[in-house]
Amino acid sequence: MVAGMLKRIGLVTLLSMTAAGCAVSPTGQKTLLLNSPAQMNAMGTQSFEQMKEKLSVEDDTRVNRYVQCVADAIVMEVPGEYGYAPQDWELVVFKDEAVNAFALPGGKIGVYTGMLKMTDNQHQLASVIGHEVSHVLAQHGNARMSQQMLTQLGMAAATIAMADRVDSKTQQAAILALGLGAQYGILLPYSRQHESEADTLGQALMAQAGFDPREATTLWQKMGQKGGATPPELLSTHPAPNTRIQQLNAQVEQYMPVYQQARASGRKPDCDRLKPR
């Protein structure tokens, strides 16, 4: 009786969730989004606050001004349809040797000082920030979490379906499994498809902002070569096979005119003058 009811509820929930969540990503990929933007923004903001407490925040004004200059130029180019205004973005530089950077829903950008050492100039830093911001715009965190929730839901439904008589313990386990999906997924590795999409959008953003799109290829090549015993931390959440570098390189031709157009119309970011030596 209870099992039957739970099974029905599970199925109905699954169907309504999938029906509600079908969306198309910025590059035209079908994607499942089960969380509302408001939920994702709240989770992103909460995670960011936790990171600010856990990690040490860079207080050197020069460093902050340099990274802010690059981030400002990028977020200025975010199309309004994504629901972010330039002033909605918050940037924090973390004092940490890890070669890392990230962006979270709610307009949060984190750049580690280790990444500043890896990037030679404003263009390379812009390619990282553009890439991270693009993950947020394309709602990759939401997609990743939704996929997990679906897996958890499927597992819970299977558990219930297999049990002849569902005792309260099994019910609890199933309900717990459903809840777990919501806790993870905010900083898990991205899929290849998400990486490719963030590369494309990111390279477009940087070119529109007046940063040289060729530098994106240079930076990812550099990161790939670093490898060895201490590969850049960024690569653990952003897998970078050679195919990505090839894709970035292939898109240079497409984005050079965008870059030249941006420079011609006065978008010439000059953040390197702020770069601490």
Stretch that binds Zn ion, among 17-25, 97-105, 234-242, 258-266 (CB under 5 A): 234-242
Under DSSP, the state recorded for 101 is: E
> CA torsion, points 262, 199, 186, 147, in degrees to nearest 10?
130
Instruction: For residue 144, state whether it binds Zn ion (rule: CB under 5 A).
Output: no
Residue numbers 151-190 binding Zn ion by CB under 5 A: 190
Catalytic, out of 53, 77, 90, 132: 132
Cα Rg of the chain, angstroms? 21
| Of the residues 74, 174, 198, 223, which one makes contact with Zn ion according to CB under 5 A | 198
Contact 3, 165 (CB under 8 A): yes
Cβ-proximal residues to 156 (8 Å cutoff; 6+ apart), any chain: 10, 174, 175, 177, 178
84-93 residues labelled b (16+ CB within 10 A) or e (exposed): beeeebebbb
Min dist CB 194 to Zn ion, Å, is 7
Residue number of the CB closest to Zn ion reads: 238
Query: Phi and psi (nearest 5°) for 89?
Result: -90, 135
Min dist CB 199 to Zn ion, Å, is 8
Q: What SS3 class is residue 25?
A: coil
Min dist CB 68 to Zn ion, Å, is 21
- 193, two tokens: 């498809």
| Of the residues 108, 144, 214, 238, which one makes contact with Zn ion according to CB under 5 A | 238
- 173, two tokens: 């386990």
Q: Which is nearer to Zn ion, 123 or 238 (CB)?
A: 238
197 is catalytic: no
Contact track, Zn ion, 35-74, x by CB under 5 A: ----------------------------------------
Binding residues (CB under 5 A) for Zn ion: these are 190, 195, 198, 238
- Give me the active site residues, please: 132
